[in-house]
């Protein structure tokens, strides 16, 4: 039978309020939120003041509370709370992707050593049950790749700028008004948020701990009208696509924009929706789509984790145990569209193996072969010089047409 | 730790052979196929003869075998095997949707009473983990509707006839050559196969046992060129769509063709692929897509069930326990396109509330409001008179424009 859960909640924003409402009204549950820790002493609240506390230890040190739900923004403070709770033997549900990704190995060890369950479905792709599906359904299947659209904010902005031809700033403003984007959108638009999710997925799909700082994230801040025009002419949509893939025990993880065509199911994932493609050796291509941003989808994922806790569920990390030889390596090449200013840019990125090149008075681009490690090393350079880089749909199998000749020709032109 | 599984396998077709191969080579597994029961004594086999038996009781009465995998075609024989195995205390994995759907209540009771696990992910939508996702992820979420494309064979035929303009018979032949369709395709093309899957989903999504005979299944055998032309002109694709939905405790289950537009994610599910849309109160619309036909996707689902068994997994049937007041009722109205011969057809189907009507020398159709129970009662009539009926995308909220006048006008014309 289901176990009785006494829950201490941290954070009472829109997800927290929705959760409280659902848990109070659901018959299926034997879970109660008994205390709620909040920060702002002056904010009016919808519940009786007695349930709130401003002292986190009133919850963390309360032996009657056996589950902590952590829904605050600050990743450092969240980690303190979660770590303390685990050390106290409490189970934890969190939606904080940054905190989970940065401390993934330590959190894994903590929950193993203290025999508690730490669940974080809500941290990754909103309402799509991707962590659970990887853990429980693909646990014995050899996976080759997991990719997708993991960030609702940027997908909303890209949809509006590309399909509806409105400006980047207008689209960002709309996203903020709809509650999909934060006041400071850096984490989304520069691709940090989907990177954290890719790091979490890398553990559950391929059994590796990738450090966020060794994972490339290029976002959409340097996207220009000319890039959109190029993509549209070629029948592409531009999406921000994290990729986690495995080749002979080497796992690469990177996030950058990607040109995709209608054969790719992500082509039809628009607005605030997220989509995940799981490529299995045996099962073929699986595609999952659901809402990626907003309080309700996140709340649904948290709810599902709470429900799992009541049945003593715990991630088994089977891939970590099976694939002990897997290693993170981002020394991989991709085929990319690079909008650049001068030939120096291409030298800096070591993008000298060129499939196509275009120069004009307005702008220049190449389709070239580049190494993820080179892009990672030059991330600041790329942003400072306003270059736009996008993976081109097809995987690299062919040898580029580059020769000394066309390289020299390219330099001569620019 | 994972439990050691000694497996007795029934059936050694393409799924069985693939499974044997994977289980023999996988390191993650502590599962071995120790005996295989087959029928044909003269067929050459790829394995040593010693592993095969032609007597099912050699497996079923063997106390060392603790798991049965049932992969034979015949639903009656499969039920005998599965029931006997459960009575002997063995866990069972099956891919047989017909057998599971027809005996769903008895199988549920058997596995509860004998404390064994009966898993059947492979019976429903190939490689898409829909049963597991409903059981484990949406277990405490109020669901409103589950619908989709559950049959790869008909979807392949529809894709080819609509998008590639080849004939129904040519498309069916192609599907058979590719191994997606049986020699006798009745179960697929008349919609029995997706009906069985809808019955299984109704239990895990809404906690009801729907009897297959009380569920309408209209297939694609009466699809005509004019229907395809109509749909194409209006921007529709035609898909065979099972619907399972709940309104105030009444659960309706039916299978019929549906006209859908590109806003619906099923629009992009083509060829042998399956897709499932889960509509949750809290999580919004979830969409899952994967391969629905063929040995490998089925094998992947069986493999995942075997893996779950090794961790003592068992369906918890939480919806059945939570939603005890839910009842099956197919007394619901849909908006449908009906290609008919004479006004008598519309009388028979009680399709007198008409939104649109068209008559010509070539063919006649109405868009009308019809009750699923009337279609169920007149299924034979519909097939005999070669009528084609397809749900029209939008749900019924509006009141039809029908009056005595236009009904009279309609009859006068025909």
Write down the ipTM of this complex: 0.78
Beta carbons of A132 and B136 less than 8 Å apart: yes
How sure is the predictor about A44, in pLDDT bands with cuts at 50, 70 and 90?
confident
Phi, psi of B307 (to 5 degrees): -60, -40
Domains of chain A: 5-119 (3.40.50.720), 139-287 (3.30.360.10), 333-413 (3.30.70)
Phi, psi of B16 (to 5 degrees): -60, -45
- Min Cα–Cα distance to chain B from A146, Å: 14
Residues from chain A contacting residue B268 (CB–CB below 8 Å): 265, 268
Q: Of the residues A56, A97, A98, A197, which is catalytic? A: A197
Beta carbons of B290 and A286 less than 8 Å apart: yes
Residue A27 has pLDDT above 90, yes or no: no
Tokens 């997706």 -> residue: B194
Q: What pLDDT, in 10s, does the model give residues A340-361?
A: 999 999 999 999 799 999 999 9
Write b or e for each residue in A287-307: b if 16 or more Cβ atoms lie within 10 A of its Cβ, otherwise e.
bbbbbbbbbbbbbbbbbbbbb
Q: For residues A365 and A226, what is the distance between their CA atoms, to the nearest angstrom?
A: 10
Beta carbons of B22 and A127 less than 8 Å apart: no
For residue A115, give the H/E element and its range: none
CB nearest to B282's CB, from A265, A296, A306:
A296
The residue of A121, A128, A136 whose CB has the most chain B CBs within 10 angstroms, and thus the best one to mutate to test that interface, is: A136
Phi, psi of B275 (to 5 degrees): -145, 145
Find, in chain A, the residue whose alpha carbon is nearest to that of B278.
A290
Give the residue from A20, A25, A22 showing the smallest Cα distance to A9.
A20
Phi-psi region of A225 (alpha: psi -120 to 50; beta: other; left: phi over 0): alpha
- Edge to edge, the sheet with strand B67-70 lists B52-53, B31-37, B5-10, B67-70, B91-94, B118-119
- Min Cα–Cα distance to chain A from B292, Å: 10
CB nearest to A283's CB, from B27, B137, B290:
B290
Beta carbons of B304 and A29 less than 8 Å apart: no
What is the reported pLDDT for A116? 97
Distant-in-sequence contacts of B360-367, Cβ < 8 A, 24+ apart? B362/B226, B363/B224, B363/B226, B363/B339, B364/B339, B364/B340, B364/B414, B365/B230, B365/B337, B365/B338, B365/B339, B365/B340, B366/B337, B366/B338, B366/B340, B366/B410, B367/B335, B367/B336, B367/B337, B367/B338, B367/B392
What is the reported pLDDT for A25? 72
Give the residue from B255, B238, B241 showing the smallest Cα distance to B330.
B255
**Could you give the dihedral angle defined by the CA atoms of residues A185, A188, A192 and A193, in that order, rounded to the nearest 10 degrees?**
120
What is the reported pLDDT for A28? 66
| Beta-bridge mates of residue B123 | none
Q: Of the residues B97, B160, B195, B197, which is catalytic? A: B197
- Min Cα–Cα distance to chain A from B185, Å: 24
CB nearest to A303's CB, from B28, B140, B289:
B140
Residues from chain A contacting residue B129 (CB–CB below 8 Å): 133, 136-137
- Min Cα–Cα distance to chain B from A139, Å: 7
What is the reported pLDDT for A397? 43
Residues from chain A contacting residue B289 (CB–CB below 8 Å): 265, 286-289
The residue of B3, B140, B311, B319 whose CB has the most chain A CBs within 10 angstroms, and thus the best one to mutate to test that interface, is: B140
Percent of chain A with pLDDT over 90: 72
- Separation of CA A129 from chain center: 13
Are B119 and B308 in contact by the 8 Å Cβ rule? The answer is: yes
Residue A243 has pLDDT above 80, yes or no: yes
Are A33 and A9 in contact by the 8 Å Cβ rule? The answer is: yes
CB nearest to A280's CB, from B283, B300, B322:
B300
What is the reported pLDDT for B112? 96
Are A35 and A9 in contact by the 8 Å Cβ rule? The answer is: yes
Give the residue from B131, B162, B398, B171 showing the smallest Cα distance to B267.
B162
The residue of B281, B300, B310, B314 whose CB has the most chain A CBs within 10 angstroms, and thus the best one to mutate to test that interface, is: B300
Question: In this predicted structure, which of A52-61, A144-153, A249-258, B20-29 has the lowest mean pLDDT?
Answer: B20-29
- Edge to edge, the sheet with strand A91-94 lists A52-53, A31-37, A5-10, A67-70, A91-94, A118-119
| Beta-bridge mates of residue B8 | B35, B68
CB nearest to A136's CB, from B127, B132, B301:
B132
Neighbours of B382 (CB within 10 A): 21
Tokens 């350079």 -> residue: A381
Beta carbons of A127 and B288 less than 8 Å apart: no
Q: For residues B225 and B233, what is the distance between their CA atoms, to the nearest angstrom?
A: 12
What is the reported pLDDT for B350? 96
Contacts of B22 (CB under 8 A, 6+ apart): A282, B299, B303
Beta carbons of B141 and A290 less than 8 Å apart: no
Are A180 and A148 in contact by the 8 Å Cβ rule? The answer is: no
Find, in chain A, the residue whose alpha carbon is nearest to that of B305.
A137
Residues from chain A contacting residue B132 (CB–CB below 8 Å): 136-137
Distances (CA, A) of B396 to A333, B370, B371: 52, 10, 11
pTM of the model: 0.86
Q: For residues B271 and B184, what is the distance between their CA atoms, to the nearest angstrom?
A: 19
CB nearest to B299's CB, from A127, A129, A282:
A282
- Min Cα–Cα distance to chain B from A311, Å: 10
B128 interfaces chain A, CB cutoff of 8 Å? yes
Name the burial class of residue B184, with classes exposed (0-12), middle (13-18) and buried (19+) by CB atoms within 10 angstroms of its CB. exposed
B197 annotated active-site? yes
Query: Between residues 273 and 292 of chain B, which touch chain A (CB distance below 8 Å)?
Result: 280, 282-291
Q: What pLDDT, in 10s, does the model give residues A161-216?
A: 998 889 999 999 998 888 778 788 999 999 999 999 999 999 999 999 999 999 99
Tokens 């890719």 -> residue: A198
Please list the rounded mean pLDDT of every run of 10 residues in chain B (414 residues): 84 87 73 92 87 96 97 95 98 97 98 97 92 91 95 95 90 88 90 98 98 98 95 94 95 97 93 95 91 82 91 92 92 96 96 91 94 97 98 60 48 49
Find, in chain B, the residue whose alpha carbon is nearest to that of A301.
B283
What is the reported pLDDT for A402? 47
| Beta-bridge mates of residue B195 | none
């Amino acid at each position: 039978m289901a176990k009785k859960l006494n829950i201490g909640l941290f954070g009472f924003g829109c997800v927290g309020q929705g959760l409280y409402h659902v848990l109070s009204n659901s018959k299926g549950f034997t879970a109660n939120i008994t205390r709620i820790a909040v920060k702002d002493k002056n904010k009016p609240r919808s519940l009786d003041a007695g349930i709130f506390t401003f002292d986190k230890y009133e919850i963390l040190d309360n032996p009657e509370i056996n589950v902590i739900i952590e829904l605050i923004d600050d990743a450092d403070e969240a980690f303190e709370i979660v770590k303390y709770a685990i050390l106290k033997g409490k189970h934890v549900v969190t939606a904080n992707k940054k905190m989970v990704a940065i401390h993934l190995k330590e959190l894994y060890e903590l929950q193993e050593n203290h025999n508690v369950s730490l669940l974080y479905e809500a941290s990754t792709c909103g309402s799509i049950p991707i962590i659970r599906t990887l853990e429980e359904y693909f646990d014995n299947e050899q996976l080759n790749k997991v990719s997708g659209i993991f960030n609702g904010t940027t997908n909303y902005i890209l949809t509006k700028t590309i399909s509806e031809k409105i400006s980047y700033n207008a689209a960002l403003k709309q996203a903020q008004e709809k509650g999909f984007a934060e006041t400071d959108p850096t984490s989304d638009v520069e691709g940090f948020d989907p990177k954290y999710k890719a790091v979490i997925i890398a553990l559950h799909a391929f059994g590796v701990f990738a450090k966020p700082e060794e994972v490339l994230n290029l976002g959409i801040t340097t996207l220009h009208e000319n890039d959109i025009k190029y993509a549209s002419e070629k029948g592409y949509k531009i999406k921000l696509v994290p990729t986690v893939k495995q080749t002979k025990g080497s796992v690469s993880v990177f996030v950058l924009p990607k040109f995709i065509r209608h054969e790719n199911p992500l082509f039809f994932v628009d607005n605030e929706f997220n989509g995940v493609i799981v490529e299995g050796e045996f099962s073929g291509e699986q595609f999952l789509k659901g809402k990626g941003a907003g309080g309700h989808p996140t709340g649904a994922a948290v709810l599902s984790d709470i429900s799992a806790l009541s049945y003593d569920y715990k991630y088994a990390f089977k891939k970590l145990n099976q694939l002990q030889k897997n290693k993170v390596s981002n020394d991989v090449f991709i085929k990319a569209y690079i909008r650049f200013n001068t030939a120096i840019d291409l030298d800096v990125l070591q993008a000298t193996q060129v499939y196509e090149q275009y120069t004009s008075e307005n702008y220049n681009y190449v389709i070239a072969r580049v190494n993820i490690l080179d892009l990672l090393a030059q991330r600041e350079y790329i942003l400072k010089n306003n270059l736009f880089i996008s993976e081109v749909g097809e995987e690299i199998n062919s040898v580029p047409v580059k020769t000394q000749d066309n390289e020299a020709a390219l330099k001569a032109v620019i």
